[in-house]
Amino acid sequence: MRFFNTAGPVNCDKHYCLSPLSRFDLAEVLSLIRQEKYFVLHAPRQSGKTSCLFALNDHLDQGGEFHALYINVEPGQTARDDVKRGIRAVLTQLAYAIEEKFPGSQVPSQIYTAIEEKGEDTALTAILTDFCKTLDKPLVLFIDEIDALVGETLISVLRQLRAGYTKRPELFPSTVILCGVRDVRDYRILSGSEKMIITGGSAFNVKAKSLRLGNFSEAETRSLLLEHTKETGQVFEENALKSIWSLTKGQPWLVNALAYETCFELEEGKARNNPITDLLVEQAKENLIIRRVTHLDQLADKLKEERVRRVIEPILTGDIYEGMLRSDDIEYVKDLGLITQATNGEISILNRIYQEIIPRQLSWESQSGMALRQAWFVNEDGRLNVSRLIQEFQQFFREHSESWIERFQYREAGPQILLQAFLQRIVNGGGRVDREYGLGRTRTDLFIRWPLKDGTVQRVVIELKILHKSREQTIKDGMAQVTGYADRCGADEAYLIIFDRRLRVSWEEKIFCEDLMHDGWRVTVFGM
């Protein structure tokens, strides 16, 4: 029986899959190849790049017009600025690929002495030239994980490919396809020998085009999930299909991981006579986040980068402030797959899973250090006492905010992160917290769903705002926003929290609590 794949290239005989060749414009790619162009195919990690390269490689082999050769240069990553060692790693991968696909070729034996005979800065060019001389058809060379190479090694590889460009197609690959996480234009390589930053665009200025492998569309996501139904008969309820799309927005690894967890790990999901519900999907999502599986760990690691912080932090706060939002940073974080940008320019976190994991990751240590018990904030009737919970946080924030926020790399978003850590600590395991934020919103919206004993759900909205104007105006703006949000969510309760970050204002002035009415809604407003 096939299953959802979460590790390595997809194999359609073993895994539920979409045709890798359908993931990009095949006609455009073939046109570039026939025009002997060098180009880039890039996408975030675990998006299916390698599967697409394998499929294209096979397609070219079957077509008979070209020879195709795939190499993965990731083993050269550890060489960093040791060019001799790095080029040796690249040439070794090339030797393995030639030996496998062209048995009897004499070129691999030359590879192992090429560096000593020709020097590390020309060896790759020389070997590819010698190899192409032996071929009866043009060579299409796929170089996967190109941006795993670092520093002088990467500069050397790019320049050697450029050096051979004019010899194509008879004496050099007619097409080279570089594949990695980022576009080559974004490579900013510190060259120790030249005492300067070398951009990928200058080191590889023969690039004709850059193609980005997109996520699954909603229709493609459904199609993949329904492969499981065709094979097993197990039905996905409509709400479950919608939930998977909302949680992933088609990120290929997330779609597969969430479906695998739901259908192959959860006991209820393993029973093929049980339908897949949105509740099972939510449970699977929580399991993935708690286990911090590899993909999410890699995401968390990227959050530490300063370029990423400059984009993500104002999204978390809803504010745009000085020094943020450089266009090259935005493109970089988009290439990492963390954000999406609408046609009107609005930037937001890609999907609901990332919306959850980002503040959770940024507050992981904070959650662990909070000595809180869920039972303290649950009434006898099973309802979550949100007012008591926020009052407790209000006191906690007064006593500890300065020391806790000081620990955060994302200090501007510190109050929002700290509150979400506090809520997550209490709500986790009983209900769930949905987050809604984005640039220019001037607020962060939280939606708590808390299941009750009678089978209904307690729905609570909490809006967070930073005081920029007067208290009165901030409350006025916030009341309109939180009640609109409460209407949209069908909430039972609404709360507005205002953080006053002014250093010279006393806590006695910052701390307050009052109940106000707006458009028929009773809203409890907390200041801190």
Q: Is residue 368 part of a domain?
A: yes
- Higher per-residue confidence, 80 vs 35: 35
> Range of 479's domain?
363-527
216-240 average pLDDT score: 97
Q: What is the pLDDT of residues 270-304, one digit of tens each?
A: 999 999 999 999 999 989 988 877 777 777 788 98
Same domain, 39 and 117: yes
* pLDDT at residue 431 greater than cutoff 90: no
Q: pLDDT tens-digit profile of 169-179?
A: 999 999 999 99
pLDDT tens string 147-160: 899 888 998 999 99
The CATH number that applies at residue 273 is 1.10.8
320: pLDDT strictly greater than 80? no
Q: Are residues 425 and 491 in the same domain?
A: yes
Residue 127 in tokens: 């070997």
Question: Hey, how many other C-beta atoms are within 10 angstroms of the C-beta on 384?
Answer: 23
Say whether both 150 and 196 belong to one domain.
yes
Locate 93 and state its tokens.
């991968």
User: CB within 8 A of 454, min separation 6: which ones?
Assistant: none
Work out how many domains the chain is built from and give that number: 3
Report the pLDDT value the prediction gives residue 194, as an integer from 0 to 100: 52
Closest CA to 329 of 342, 316, 343, 347: 347
Ordered strands of the 67-72 beta sheet: 67-72, 139-144, 175-180, 38-42, 207-212
Task: Note whether 369 and 500 are same-domain residues.
Answer: yes
> Same domain, yes or no, for 249 and 275?
yes
For residue 50, tell me if it sits in a domain.
yes
Mean pLDDT of the chain: 89
3-state helix, strand, coil in the chain (%, to 5): 50, 20, 30
pLDDT at residue 191 tops 50: no
The percent of residues above 70 in pLDDT, for the chain, comes to: 94
Distance CA 412, CA 56 (A): 46
Residues 409 and 280 in one domain: no
Which of 204-213, 225-234, 325-334, 365-374: highest mean pLDDT? 225-234
Above 90 in pLDDT, residue 371?
no
Instruction: Locate 74 and state its tokens.
Output: 């990731």
- Which of 230, 264, 291 terminates a domain? The answer is 291
At residue 254, the pLDDT reads 95
In this structure, are 224 and 175 located in the same domain? Answer: no
Question: Could you tell me which residues come within 8 angstroms of residue 315 by beta carbon, excluding any fewer than 6 positions away?
Answer: 339, 347, 348, 349, 437, 438, 439
**115-to-94, 110, 160, 186 alpha-carbon distances in Å:** 14, 10, 13, 29
Looking at the fold, whether 100 and 132 belong to one and the same domain comes out as: yes
pLDDT for the residue numbered 123: 96
- 281 found inside a domain: yes
- Bridge partner residues of 437 (DSSP): none
Please report whether residue 509 resides in a domain.
yes
Final residue before a domain boundary, out of 276, 291, 306: 291
Please tell me whether residues 207 and 222 are part of one structural domain.
no
Spacing of C-alpha 348 from chain mean position:
12
Sign, CA dihedral 286-292-296-299, equals positive
pLDDT of residue 494: 97
Whether 15 is covered by a domain: the verdict is no
Does any domain span residue 508?
A: yes
The pLDDT score that the predictor gives to residue 199 is: 54
Domain-ending residue, one of 291, 322, 346: 291
DSSP secondary structure of 129-198:
HHHHHT-SS-EEEEEETGGGS-HHHHHHHHHHHHHTGGGTTTSS-SEEEEEESS-GGG-EEEETTTTEEE
Q: 287 and 367 share a domain? A: no
User: Taking 50 as the threshold, does the pLDDT of residue 231 lie above it?
Assistant: yes
Phi, psi of 491 (to 5 degrees): -80, 160
Q: What is the CATH number of the domain that holds 27?
A: 3.40.50.300
Q: Say yes or no: 231 and 152 in one domain.
A: no
Q: What pLDDT score does 283 carry?
A: 92
Do 5 and 11 meet the contact criterion of CB atoms below 8 Å apart?
yes
Question: Which residues in 110-133 are b (16+ Cβ under 10 Å) and which e?
Answer: bbeebbeeeebbbbbbbbbbbbbe
